[in-house]
Chain A
Amino acid sequence: MDVEELSFEEAFKELEETVRRLEEGDLTLEESIALFERGQELARYCSAKLDQAELRVSKLIPSAGGYEEVPLEEEP
Chain B
Amino acid sequence: MPDNYFTVSQITDYIKELIEVDPLLQDVWVEGEVSNFSQSTLGHIYFTLKDEGASIRCVMWRSLAERQVYLPGDGEAVIAHGHISIYEARGLYQFYVDTVQPAGLGSLYLQFEALKERLAAEGLFAEEHKRPLPPFPRRLGVVTSPTGAAIRDILRVLGRRYPLVEVVLSPTLVQGDEAPPQIVAAIEALNRYTDVDAIILARGGGSLEELWAFNDEGVARAVYASRVPVITGVGHEIDFTIADFVADVRAPTPSAAAEMAVPDREELKATLASWSERLAQELARRIKEKRRAFKAEEEALLRLSPRAKIEGYRQRIDDLMRSAASNLGHRLALLRERLRGRILQLESLSPTGVLGRGYSITRHLGTGQVVKSVAQVKEGDRIGIRVSDGEFTGTVNE
Contacts and interface: CB of A to CB of B under 8 A. Distances in A.
Partners in one complex: yes
Interface of A: 7-9, 12, 15-16, 18-19, 22-23, 27, 29, 32-33, 35-36, 39-40, 43, 46-47, 49-50, 52-62, 66-69, 72, 75-76
B90 interface: no
A16 B275 contact: yes
Given A19-B275, A66-B193, 7 more contacts: A32-B287, A39-B279, A50-B268, A55-B163, A56-B167, A66-B189, A67-B194
A35 B282 CA distance: 11
B283 A12 contact: no
25 contacts: A12-B136, A15-B272, A15-B275, A16-B275, A18-B279, A22-B283, A23-B278, A29-B290, A32-B286, A43-B272, A46-B268, A50-B164, A52-B163, A52-B164, A55-B165, A59-B146, A59-B168, A59-B171, A60-B168, A60-B170, A60-B193, A61-B171, A66-B189, A66-B193, A68-B193
Nearest to A49: B164
A71 B276 CA distance: 37
Contacts of B279: 18-19, 22, 35-36, 39-40, 43
Contacts of A69: 168, 194
Interface stretch (B13-21, B147-155, B297-305): B147-155
B67 interface: no
B181 to A, nearest CB: 14
Contacts of B276: 39-40, 43
B204 to A, nearest CB: 14
A63 to B, nearest CB: 9
Interface of B: 135-136, 138, 141, 146-147, 151-152, 155, 158-159, 162-171, 186, 189-190, 192-194, 265, 268-269, 272, 275-276, 278-280, 282-283, 286-287, 290
Contacts of B167: 55-58
Contacts of B158: 55
Contacts of A9: 135-136, 138
B169 A58 contact: yes
A60 B136 CA distance: 22
B89 to A, nearest CB: 59
A8 B189 CA distance: 26
Contacts of B275: 15-16, 19, 39, 43
Contacts of B164: 8, 49-50, 52
From A29, A57, A69, residue with most partner B Cβ within 10 Å:
A57
B275 to A, nearest CB: 5
Nearest to B169: A59
B272 A67 contact: no
Nearest to A65: B193
From A16, A18, A22, A27, residue with most partner B Cβ within 10 Å:
A22
Contacts of B159: 54-55
A46 B272 contact: yes
Given A52-B163, A55-B155, A66 B192 contact: yes
A30 to B, nearest CB: 11
A14 to B, nearest CB: 11
Contact of B169 (A33, A36, A72): A72
Q: Which 3 A-B pairs have the closest CB atoms?
A: A9-B136, A67-B193, A55-B159
B155 A57 contact: yes
Nearest to B148: A75
A29 B291 CA distance: 10
B341 to A, nearest CB: 77
A74 to B, nearest CB: 11
Given A55-B163, A57-B155, A58-B166, A22 B282 contact: yes
B284 to A, nearest CB: 10
Contacts of B147: 75-76
Contacts of A76: 147
B287 A29 contact: yes
From A33, A43, A52, residue with most partner B Cβ within 10 Å:
A43
Contacts of B290: 29
A38 to B, nearest CB: 9
Nearest to A53: B163
